[in-house]
Amino acid sequence: MTYDLLIGDRSYSSWSLRGWLLFAKFGVDVTVHDTRFYIPQFQEDLKPFAPARTVPVMRLPDGAVVMDSLAIAETLAERHPDKGYWPDDPAARALSRGMVAEMHSGFGALRSACPMNLRQSFMGFPVSDAVAADIARIELLWAAAREMATDGPWLFGRYSIADAFFAPVAARMAGYGLPVSEASKPYIVDTISDPTFLEWRRRGLEDAPQSTYDLLYPAGQWPGPD
């Protein structure tokens, strides 16, 4: 018996992407169940994962349900200590946990103004002061992580929970053409070019688009590889 994971629209659900990466990037077997937002079937698909009311949600092999991507991350790290979910160094691990917690609860201006959309880019997006402040804070955190990084291109060198949590943010920065420093650009490129991320995106493109995520800005092609 294996884990079960219920996820939403791959092109749009940033939290589902995080939950899925926590399995796919760490080599943990899982049976993935797909649902879609804004359809009556969504509530039916959630019933086997009660009492969850949103996605992602995980069911353990013993039947216990784990709601919320942060709870999923901590549970998997606890159950698979050999997978390296958190950095080994205590100081880096502490910073990583703080960054993940802030990503989980913060950056509301960026999230609200720039819904994740992996199908296309948006040109001429106006950046408000609140969104610019979120970007500046994220770049500060990324820089702090990279100062502690061991060998490797990810935030702390080796891929960790922090990278899974910030992947949708990197995708937003790319898709909306948000202003970022030269220091941040390689990490964004590495994120949207990662083979696991590309697998997720390709699967999402197989679904019909959701008009709910259309914005009144000129649309362009996705800036990353196919």
Give yes or no: residues 129 and 192 share one domain: yes
Asked if residue 178 has pLDDT above 90, the reply is: yes
Please state, in angstroms and rounded to a whole number, the distance separating the CA atoms of residues 32 and 19.
10
- Which residue has tokens 């992580």? 145
Q: Which residues contact 161 (CB under 8 A, 6 or more apart)?
A: 22, 73, 77, 85, 86, 96, 100
Give yes or no: residues 71 and 97 share one domain: no
pTM: 0.96
Residue 225 lies in a domain: no
Per-residue pLDDT at 212:
84
Segment 105-120, tens digit of pLDDT: 999 999 999 999 999 9
Q: Which whole number is the average pLDDT over 199-213?
A: 92
Higher pLDDT, 206 or 211: 206
Give yes or no: residues 102 and 205 share one domain: yes
Segment 5-22, tens digit of pLDDT: 999 999 999 999 999 999
Number of domains in the chain: 2
